[in-house]
Structure 1
Amino acid sequence: MQKYDLLIIGGGMVGLTLALAVRKLSSLTVAVVDNTSPCELTKDPEVRVSAINQASEQVFKNLDVWPLITNMRYQPYQGMHIWDKDAGGSLNFSAQDVDKENLGSIIENNVIRTALWQKVQADSGITIIDQKIASLGMGDSEVFASIDGQMPIMASYVVGADGANSWLRSQIDMPMTFRDYDHHALVATVNTKQHLTPTAWQVFLPSGPLAFLPLYEPGSYSIVWSTSPEQANDLAALSPEEFAKQLTSASDGKLGQLELASERYTYPLKMRLARDFMKERAILIGDAAHTIHPLAGQGVNLGLVDAAALADCFAQLSKQNQFTDINSTVALKAFARWRKNDAIEMISAMEAIKQIFAPLPLPLQTLRGFGLDLINKVKPAKQLMIKQALGEKSHLPSLSKQKENWSIT
């Protein structure tokens, strides 16, 4: 029987970040179960991208992953322009407002995972198991996993970083709070000949938000169009030319004449929140614990902070020789409360934004537009909003801070 300190189910961005973070902060041994290696990068950008904020970027820097990402391809952006299609009000955010070089970076998911994968493969304390778990048993002090075609595994803890449809969450029978947003997201890559300063654009349409995220090639954007399931299907069925016309019209031509540069994909948007993020010796992080509306692009950042925070907790327990001690439950429950509270805060914020930009009668639309323009002129209010988007908080994991500020608590 193979024995590890930690068993991670799911080798996506969050699971691999946790594995590297645990190894960075301790000498604990880790096994990651995932039978899908990263796809080879092509010359064309991947459709699925993430808006990585400064807190997540710092995690990648402290794990020595950031140079691998930047050596592939990424796009920092210095500005954000948000406007209301109906009311006409707008907000303009700039990195200069908070004395930063940029507001974040748009990176293809496969680029991030490839960089993390390379780093994981170079760490002798991390084992990749490219098979599926057949069954899982929970003892008082260990977790037992049967692996297809391999020896069983024993570990002190198991972590589910296996996505929104988490296998581990199902195995431990963890109840979920669930809400269907009744929206689908349509994602694609589009091009324009109008080359602008790297800026994230978002327009709130009556049917939902439409975001344009700048990619590494000038004039290339990843779009996320959140709308009703019916309209998403209709948009996906349009000819490339007609789709481009509708997209250009929806964005008020602010990015110039747009053209479709990829396949279009749609997926349903749902809010999920696990009742608890841990049960006995099983812990949930990332989308396995929570999913939120993508309108602010904070879902992956929330998951990466989960990973960094859990690594802090495991490292502290190991340092105090309490990793397998009964006292570990107290520390892990504190971790779970913290991360659940952050998830609830983010879910509530997304709901508030969604409601603010919901269709309104004409007089209230005018008032909403006036409110946006007013906020745009109030520098302290804008600075607060930007710092929230950057991931700046009073309570952050050690790996989300610059190295001189590291403190495992």
Structure 2
Amino acid sequence: MPSGMDETPDVILIGGGLVGMTTALALAAFGVRSAVVDTADLETTVASGFDGRATAIASASWRMFEALGLAERLEGLDCPIDEIRVSEGLGRHSLHFDGRTGTGGGVAGEPLGHMLENRHIRRALIDAGREEPLIDLYAPDRTTDIERSAHGVTVRLDSGQVLKAPLLVAADGRRSRIREEAGIRAARWQYRQTAIVGMIEHERPHENVAFEIFYPAGPFAILPMLPGTRSAIVWTVPAKEADAWLGLPERALMAEIDKRIGGFLGMTRMAAPPASYPLGFHHAERYTDMRLALVGDAAHGIHPIAGQGLNMGLRDAAALAEVVGDGVRLGLDIGETEVLARYQRWRGFDNMAVSVSTDVLNRLFGLPGETMKHVRGLGLSMVGRVPPLKNFFMAEARGASGDLPGLLRGERP
């Protein structure tokens, strides 16, 4: 039974996943009480078989993790990303980012990001959420009815509990029922690509370097994990070929993976069974409605080409928490259109810019032909030789561009 159920929440948050729980913790940092509702038994979401993926937490997002006390819960489980190397195939044209230089929105010695298994992030979020007195968890439970009116939000749960608050936050994923019931349309399409994700062990240490190798069929990412001879891979293949690749015997599959790596990590083997995820794009026409705000995948979903998907959602969490926190501090009705309009302005343009950029980048690197391959290679070399351009792309990788909420600067209210 939630510890604070005798108190009225400021926010009802539907969805206790990575973005949802981070949003609740960010709100709590501003003194805002939230009720988090999720259909899952949260303990099942930290089992190794629930989600075998790993995620790159950009350095700005990591600053928020530090401010919220999550980084210390993840100590020893994260692998810093000190460098990123981007190349057109295995050719000589490449782009190299070194986070330790302190350029591109960082400080000297700060990694570009941190690699973590999703289950470890979930564990830290769930434990922090259970210990936070300003978060009331209702999980497993589900909504049976949601009413939004000019005067507030009422949510009825399967358990019989009735929640009332000034604001509803939807963190219920790509197929958000709340977004659809609010009549918020979303632009969407499928890429006809599938991401094969897995974990490999390799002979040579990765030295905290992430690699993004572009092939005509899609990018191949190698992401450093702990210990130093383990890496996560994200291999983008045509959707119609995914089952065939996954159906190969392990030795044959590893031979194909080795071919794309090019041997620079030495001998490799599969460390965990691979899985696949279809790739698509969606972006909501707006992030707010009457007493409603969308965060994370409920608002947007992009190609994993730049590893920014979850980080966009974490930036949503930081921005919404600041908007709502400021509203509470000023004595405003946090569900009012004028208050939520600030969140829409803050996150709408930034998310659209990142979404369009990743879409264009994926299509550009997918264009066939030697001429386009040569053009892309020269483009990578040019970016590496022009410091302002290189710093811009490094800041994007860090999630440190634009008008950052205080939490993303590492500032706790």
Q: Secondary structure at the match of 1:250?
A: helix
Q: How far 1:69 moved relative to its partner?
A: 1.1
Match of 2:84 in 1: 80
**Contact 2:152–2:165 at 8 Å: present in 1 too?**
yes
Whole-Å separation in 1 of the counterparts to 2:254 and 2:238: 19
Instruction: Return closer, same or farther for 1:324/1:375 CA change in 2, 3 Å cut-off.
Output: closer
Match of 1:172 in 2: 182
Q: Calculate the aligned-residue CA RMSD, in Å.
A: 2.1
Whole-Å separation in 2 of the counterparts to 1:159 and 1:253: 47
1:336-355 pair list within 5 angstroms: 336-355=344-363
Q: Which among 15, 18, 21 is matched to residue 13 of structure 1?
A: 18
Q: Higher mean Cα deviation, 331-340 or 353-362?
A: 353-362
1:33-182 pair list within 5 angstroms: 33-34=37-38, 35-39=40-44, 47-71=52-76, 73-85=77-89, 88-97=92-101, 98=103, 99-130=108-139, 131-182=141-192
Match of 2:331 in 1: 321
Match of 2:369 in 1: 361
Q: How far 1:335 moved relative to its partner?
A: 0.9
Whole-Å separation in 1 of the counterparts to 2:215 and 2:282: 24
Match of 1:264 in 2: 274
How many percent identity over aligned positions?
Answer: 28
Find out whether 1:335 has 2:343 as its counterpart.
yes
Q: How far 1:115 moved relative to its partner?
A: 0.8
**Contact 2:48–2:119 at 8 Å: present in 1 too?**
no
Q: How far 1:247 moved relative to its partner?
A: 0.3
Q: Which among 287, 298, 304 is matched to residue 277 of structure 1?
A: 287
1:305-316 pair list within 5 angstroms: 305-316=315-326
Whole-Å separation in 2 of the counterparts to 1:324 and 1:365: 51
Q: Secondary structure at the match of 2:75?
A: helix
Find out whether 1:286 has 2:296 as its counterpart.
yes
Give the AA of the match of 1:47: G
**Contact 2:207–2:228 at 8 Å: present in 1 too?**
no
**Contact 1:141–1:324 at 8 Å: present in 2 too?**
no
**Contact 1:165–1:288 at 8 Å: present in 2 too?**
yes
Whole-Å separation in 1 of the counterparts to 2:275 and 2:127: 28
TM-score after normalising by structure 1: 0.93
Structure 1 segments unaligned to the other structure (5+ residues): none
Give the AA of the match of 1:219: T
Whole-Å separation in 1 of the counterparts to 2:385 and 2:288: 44
Q: Higher mean Cα deviation, 131-140 or 347-356?
A: 347-356
Find out whether 1:23 has 2:28 as its counterpart.
yes
Q: Secondary structure at the match of 2:187?
A: strand
TM-score after normalising by structure 2: 0.92
Whole-Å separation in 1 of the counterparts to 2:221 and 2:50: 17
Q: How far 1:176 moved relative to its partner?
A: 1.0
Whole-Å separation in 1 of the counterparts to 2:379 and 2:312: 28
Instruction: Return closer, same or farther for 1:46/1:272 CA change in 2, 3 Å cut-off.
Output: closer
Q: Secondary structure at the match of 1:102?
A: coil
Structure 2 segments unaligned to the other structure (5+ residues): none
Q: Secondary structure at the match of 2:273?
A: coil
Whole-Å separation in 1 of the counterparts to 2:266 and 2:90: 20
Q: How far 1:88 moved relative to its partner?
A: 4.4
Give the AA of the match of 1:109: N
**Contact 2:334–2:340 at 8 Å: present in 1 too?**
no
**Contact 2:88–2:377 at 8 Å: present in 1 too?**
yes
Q: Secondary structure at the match of 1:338?
A: helix
Q: Secondary structure at the match of 2:378?
A: helix
Q: How far 1:324 moved relative to its partner?
A: 5.0
| Matched length | 401
Q: Secondary structure at the match of 1:144?
A: strand
1:146-203 CA deviation, whole Å, 9 max, x = no partner? 1112222112111011111112213323211112111111111111111131110111
1:389-408 pair list within 5 angstroms: 389-403=397-411
**Contact 2:47–2:119 at 8 Å: present in 1 too?**
no
Match of 2:381 in 1: 373
Whole-Å separation in 1 of the counterparts to 2:309 and 2:113: 14
